[in-house]
Amino acid sequence: MRRTTALRTALSAVLLVGAWAGAGFPSASASPSAADAPTAVGTDTRQASTGLIAAMQQDLGLTESQARARLTAEKTATAIQPEARRAAGASYGGSWFDASTGGLTVAVTSRKQAAAVRATGAAVRLVTHTERSLDAVKAKLDRLHAPAGVSSWHVDPEANKVVVDVVASAQSDNDVRTFLAQARNAGPVTVEQTDEAPRTFSAGTVGGDPYYTGNVRCSIGFSVYGGFVTAGHCGQAGASVSGWDGSGIGNFQGSSFPGDDYAWVSVGNGWWTVPVVLGWGTVSDQLVRGSAVAPVGASICRSGSTSHWHCGNVLATNETVNYSQGAVHEMTKTSVCAEPGDSGGSFISGDQAQGVTSGGWGNCSSGGETWHQPINEILNRYGLTLHTA
């Protein structure tokens, strides 16, 4: 992208070269402390654009006042979540944003810690299992061979169990039954049904505002200093990358898939990076101010080169997704739709970067679910710094 190009082109280049995290779905593996570490925290909810509010009204069924109130409440919940976790100590059983109350709920196994958690502003629920014990159960499932009919599995803090999602049409499959029997032997597990198996959302070359690797089109995620982050399934280390206008951007400097689904691309040849997520005319282009992790239950929006801008809710974190290419760990599941070519695109909550699009099921006509690779895991893995406003 040359600096002499028109404004729209410049904004597209902004997204393609530096402000985004690519186009794919599989997850990255990182410790909870690393994954939760934000680069910055934005606090001014008045900066929410009218387009963002309109998108939340359309996709989440909210009124304008409800959308603004929810953004304010989610900002507060995101800010107190780390403090509430510290207050819970070893009895921590997970946390989630409760849209019905507008607050953060924290699960604890000890009544002794309840008062300290409430003092942070969070509500408390007494549970049987700690997050650490449930993570250990999930780790046992990660070591099992999962058949194609098993979609994913994650720790559900509200259910206080490990949830295994099975494709409805495969629930009677013998291999699926065997996997579920082994899963139940590992600890507290519950089974839910999903409509389709997950898949990645890369696509063949078509027009739009993408980036390309060979005949594969993906979407930029977030700018980092020196380049942008994206999905690992979009390209291998060393592969060259070109922009929507065919000019060279740079090369994949690192890539991992499956197991993880993250990568980063260096930027050069007249391209530069900016802290912006493209709104595609649906909303105003969104400034990126940090990467504080939104809790389960919070609203989240996604931008991609095929289906553009859509919103939904965070459904689960630390989920293992069973793609046909192999399992990917520590993913975040959302109710946001996506389509082929959206892989690597930005997931953002308010002005906080959340992750890059990895994969999912369904589409933006009939609906579906989409996973993203958490942004902080990618930054930590490659020693990158998010470009923020």
160: domain CATH number is: 3.30.300.50
The answer to whether residue 91 is domain-embedded is no
pLDDT at residue 43 in the model: 39
Q: Is the peptide bond before 188 cis (omega within 30 degrees of 0)?
A: no
29: phi then psi, degrees, rounded to nearest 5: -100, 125
**Lowest mean pLDDT across 17-26, 69-78, 173-182, 316-325:** 17-26
Residue 309 domain-assigned (yes or no): yes
Same domain as 336, residue 252: yes
* Tokens coding 85: 């976790």
Beta strands 326-334; 286-287: pairing state? unpaired
Taking the C-alpha atoms of residue 344 and residue 358, their distance in angstroms, rounded to an integer, is 6
What pLDDT was estimated at residue 54?
87
Is 370 within the bounds of a domain? yes
Instruction: Count structural domains, the chain.
Output: 2
Residues 6+ apart with CB under 8 A from 8: none
Answer whether residue 110 is part of any domain.
no
Average pLDDT, the chain: 87
Evaluate whether residue 214 is within a structural domain. Answer: yes
Does 345 reside within a domain? yes
The C-alpha atoms of residue 248 and residue 243 are separated, in whole angstroms, by 6
| Separation between Cα atoms, residue 208 and residue 24, nearest integer Å | 17
* Cα 60 to Cα 334: distance, rounded to the nearest angstrom: 12
Q: What is the pLDDT of residue 23?
A: 33
Residues 259 and 299 placed together within one structural domain of the fold: yes
Residues 330 and 356 in one domain: yes
Question: Which pTM value belongs to this model?
Answer: 0.81
Reply yes or no on whether the pLDDT at 352 is more than 70.
yes
Question: What is the share, in percent, of the chain residues with pLDDT greater than 70?
Answer: 86
Least confident stretch, 29-33, 98-102, 190-194, 372-376: 29-33
Confidence of residue 202 (pLDDT cuts 50, 70, 90): low
* Residues identified as active-site: 233, 261, 343
Using CB atoms within 10 A of its CB, is residue 140 exposed (0-12), middle (13-18) or buried (19+)?
Answer: middle
pLDDT digits (tens, 9 = 90+) for 265-296: 998 888 888 899 988 888 888 889 999 999 99
pLDDT at 2 over 60: no
**Model confidence pLDDT, tens digit, residues 329-346:** 999 999 999 999 999 999
Mean pLDDT of 321-328: 97
Q: Rounded to an integer, what distance in angstroms lies between the CA atom of residue 83 and that of residue 61?
A: 31
Question: Of 197, 215, 248, which residue constitutes the final position of a domain?
Answer: 197
pLDDT at 279: 87
Q: How far is CA 367 from CA 279, 298, 312, 334, 339, in A?
A: 20, 18, 11, 11, 10
Among residues 197, 225, 252, which one ends one of the domains? 197
* Gap between the Cα atoms of 207 and 165, Å rounded: 35
**Whether residues 169 and 209 fall in one domain:** no
Confidence of residue 257 (pLDDT cuts 50, 70, 90): very high
Give the model confidence (pLDDT) of 142-162 as tens digits: 999 999 999 999 999 999 999
Q: Are residues 174 and 230 in the same domain?
A: no
SS3 readout for the chain: CCCCCCHHHHHHHHHHHCCEECECCCCCCCCHHHHHCCCCCCCCHHHCCHHHHHHHHHHHCCCHHHHHHHHHHHHHHHHHHHHHHHHHHHHEEEEEEECCCCEEEEEECCHHHHHHHHCCCCEEEECCCCHHHHHHHHHHHHCCCCCCCEEEEEEECCCCEEEEEEEHHHCCCHHHHHHHHHHHHHCCEEEEEECCCCEECCEECCCCCCEEECCEEECCCEEECCEEEECHHHCCCCCEEEECCCCEEEEEEEEECCECCEEEEECCCCCCCCCEECCECCECCEECCECCCCCECCEEEEEECCCEEEEEEEEEEEEEEEECCEEEEEEEEECCCCCCCCCECEEEECCEEEEEEEEEEEECCCEEEEEEEEHHHHHHHHCCCECCC
Give the pLDDT confidence of 58-93 residue by residue, as tens digits.
Answer: 899 999 999 999 999 999 999 999 999 999 999 999
**Torsion angle in degrees (nearest 10) through CA of 108, 315, 154, 219:** -140
Residues whose CB is less than 8 angstroms from the CB of residue 174 and which lie 6 or more positions away in sequence, other chains included: none
Q: Which domain CATH number covers 32? A: 2.40.10.10
Range of the domain at 212: 1-61+198-389
Shared domain check, 246 and 385: yes
Residue 47: the pLDDT is: 59
Place of tokens 């493209």: 278
Whether residues 153 and 40 share a domain: the answer is: no
Average pLDDT value for residue range 165-181: 96
- For a pLDDT cut of 90, what percent of the chain falls above it? 76
Question: What's residue 34's pLDDT?
Answer: 36
Give the mean model confidence (pLDDT) for residues 30-59: 59
With 60 as the cut, is the pLDDT of residue 208 above it? Answer: no
In a domain, 123, yes or no: no
Whether residue 207 is found in the same domain as residue 167: no
